[in-house]
Each structure stands twice: as structure tokens, then as C-alpha cells.
Chains A and B, each alone.
Chain A
Amino acid sequence: MKEFFAMGGYAFFVWTSYAIVAFLMIANVVAARMKRKRIFREMQELAEES
């Protein structure tokens, strides 16, 4: 297990790469959900006004 995380001495490069890609991919999903919520909220407000 320890050997696996060491990545033959390249741990920093391999895991940083994977961490950044994971972060960006998750951030994209979160951003898409927030966009959906924001638009629904805005439309709800618009409907209440009229």
C-alpha cells in the first residue's frame, strides 16, 4: 500500500495531477448545479413579482 502511494518516487507529480483534475471536474459539476439553482430561483422571483 505504501509502495502504491509512493508511485516509484513520483508521488508528488502523479497525485498532484490527479488531485487538480479531480478538483476541476468536481468544480464543474458544482458550478452546473449552482447555475441551475440560481436560474430556478431567479425565475421563481420573477413569477412572484408578476
Chain B
Amino acid sequence: MMQFIHKYGSPRYYYQWSKGWQKWLSIITVVLLVIGLYQGFFVAPPDYQQGESYRIIFIHVPAAWMSMFVYMVMAFAGIMALVWRIKVAEIVVGECAILGASFTAMALITGMLWGKPMWGTYWVWDARLTSELVLLFLYFGVIALHGAFDDPRTGAKAASILAIVGVINIPIIKYSVEWWNTLHQPATVAKFDKPSMHISMLIPLLIMAVAFKTYFLSLLFMRSRSEVLAREKNASWVKEILKEQS
């Protein structure tokens, strides 16, 4: 197991194996987005209560899921960075924070634009909305700490600690709609019995959710690959890559 982690996490080997993944994931993302948007707008019927406004769900829910998923990836990378000092994991913490913050912003903005016509207000300080806003600030904190030190490895260490401590917020977001009385509706898809959503709406939602996931992974690979080169700029294998490029 440790051998596996050190092999795939070594900067040089990571740079090699992630190249193909990045390329294919970005192609898959485009294909899935086209299919998902087509199904979401042209196949799924209007909602019997919310009319056409519910179509925001196809971006709102995937973005909200990603805001939590990316956080878990970031915290897991934080553990690897702290416990095993994996350089690539340190980089992943920083890149996850930037991408996670943008997914959280997407979830909040689309939620506000959906809330206005359905609830009559852009914002309420209820449990789900507030805990998601706290998540955005956690991401900002990780970004700030990651870049706050002259030594990037010290910054990554500090950012990893915040990322791991902040995991406490994730179950709060997830269960906020059950623990407190909120305006936000409870889970429609991710629950133990059958999702209470018609299949023609569920399919585009799940396709969009996978598209957001592959989008995240392809960008994570792209950003972290560049960062690996920057951190390893004195290594001979990086100099060789540079020679090939010029």
C-alpha cells in the first residue's frame, strides 16, 4: 500500500500517468455536458409544481454535491500530505481549494436564483444555506493559508490542518435539512429509499453530476501537473521536458 502511494505520488511518475487521464476526462466532460444539457432542457418535462424554473436543478445539485465532494478529496489529500509528506498531495490540497470554492459559489448563486421565484427571497439564514456559506469561507481560508508562507510546504501543512478540521462542516451541510427546520427541501436523490424524482428528470441530473465530477478531475490534473513542474523545476526530468517543449 505504502509502496503504491509513493510510486503514484512521486512527482515524476504522477506527471506521466496523469497526462492521459487529464485528456480523456476532459473529452468525456464535454460529451456528458452536451448529453446532459440536451436531456435536461428538451427531454425532461416541466415540473408540475415549479414549472420550468426547476431546470436550475441540473446545475445547482451537481455543483452542491461537488462542493462537498471536492472538500472530502481536499481533506483526504491533507491527511496524506501531513502523515506521509507526499508532495503531490500538498499540491492537490491547494488546487482543490480553488476548484471547490468555485463549485460552492456556483451552488450558492444558482440556489439564490432558484430561491427567489420559489421561496420569494434570494437568501435566508437557515441551516443549509448558512453551512454552505461557511464551506465557502473554509475554502477561502485554505487558499489563503496555502499561499501565506514563503515556504510552500509549510503553507501546505497549515492549509491541510484547516482542511481536516473543517470536515466537521460536511455532515452539518448534508444533514442540515433533517436536523433543523429549514426552507431548503430535503434530499430528493441521495437517500435510502427510492429517489422521489421521475426518471426523465433523474437521468439528466445524474449525467450532469458525472460531468461535473469529470470536469473537476480533469482540471485538478491540469492544475496540479503545472504545479508539479514549478515545484520540481530543479529536477533533471523537468529540465528535459522543458527542452522538448522549446
Q: A residues within 8 Å of B by Cβ?
A: 4, 7-10, 13-14, 16-18, 20-21, 24-25, 27-29, 31-33, 35-36, 39-40, 42-44, 46-47
Q: Once the chains bind, are A28 and B109 in contact (CB under 8 Å)?
A: no
- Residue from the list B41, B116, B222 in contact with A13, Cβ < 8 A: B116
Of the candidate stretches B5-13, B150-158, B225-233, the one touching chain A is: B225-233
Q: Once the chains bind, are A44 and B59 in contact (CB under 8 Å)?
A: no
Q: In terms of DSSP, what is the predominant structure of the interface of chain A?
A: helix
CA distance A27 to B106 in the complex (A): 12
Q: B residues within 8 Å of A by Cβ?
A: 41, 46, 51-53, 55-56, 59-60, 63, 98-99, 102, 105-106, 109-110, 113-114, 116-117, 215, 219, 222-223, 225-227, 229-230, 233, 238-239, 242, 245-246
Q: In terms of DSSP, what is the predominant structure of the interface of chain B?
A: helix
Q: Once the chains bind, are B226 and A7 in contact (CB under 8 Å)?
A: no
Chain A nearest Cβ from B204, distance in angstroms: 13
CA distance A20 to B105 in the complex (A): 10
